Structure 1
Amino acid sequence: MTDRIARIMEFLEASPKDNFLRHALALEYVKAEADDKARSLFEAILQDSPDYVGSYYHLARLLERNGERDAAVEWYEKGMAAARLAGDNHSYNELQAAYDDLLY
């Protein structure tokens, strides 16, 4: 376990539902190639807070990298809908570009 993961986990003990911290931890897990842990965290964030738009992209990319194309497509689509609802055009465009790259 890296020092960063350990530090983030310490912060999460005080604020276990902090989406910023959970997202940061999931990204560290991605870097450490602990994909199952990263996926679980991204999914938990999005279950608790479907408006946490940034996690859709990273979850879909993780799934795409692991050969789960259909699941990645589904999460890109959910992310685009959430970004549109939030009025977050930057995230929408990022999700749309990744989605298009995967499908076409």
Structure 2
Amino acid sequence: MSRIDQISELLKENPADSFLQHALALEYIKTNLDDEAKNIFEKLLLDNPDYVGSYYHLAKLYERLGEEQEAIKIYERGMDVAKNLNEQHAYNELKSAYEYLIY
């Protein structure tokens, strides 16, 4: 059974688990299933906007897809969330990636 299958099975038991959703999206990225990953990250952040770790990965995915303006929006939103949650490490990672993209 693949990791995607394993995580999907676990999600059947607990479909609202943000950690599992995030993990599944990362597995989709590893297998170049970018649309599936993007859909999961977008839904995850819609349902759980404080899941700060997903902003970085979604923005990086947008970058890879050539959607730089969307990536910038996601970095900015993620930085706002990280700042509000006092998640300094996440904020710094998002800011660094954001600055690298825009400069």
With normalisation by structure 2, the TM-score equals 0.99
**CA offsets 1:55-94 (integer angstroms, 9 cap, x no match):** 0000000000110000000000000000001100000000
1:97 is displaced (CA, Å) by 0.2
1:101 is displaced (CA, Å) by 0.3
| Aligned mates of 2:34, 2:99 — CA distance in 1 | 23
Residue 101 of structure 1 pairs with residue 86 of structure 2:
no
Deviation >4 Å, runs of 4+: none
1:84 aligns with 2:74: no
State TM-score, norm by structure 1: 0.98
Superposition pairs of residues 1-104 of structure 1, within 5 angstroms = 3-104=2-103
Unmatched 5+ stretches in structure 1:
none
RMSD: 0.7
Any idea what the Cα deviations from partners look like across 1:29-70, whole Å, max 9, x if unmatched? Answer: 000000000000000110001000000000000000110000
Aligned length: 103
CA distance in 2, matches of 1:71, 1:3: 31
Gaps of 5+ in 2: none
Residue identity in the other structure for 2:86 = G
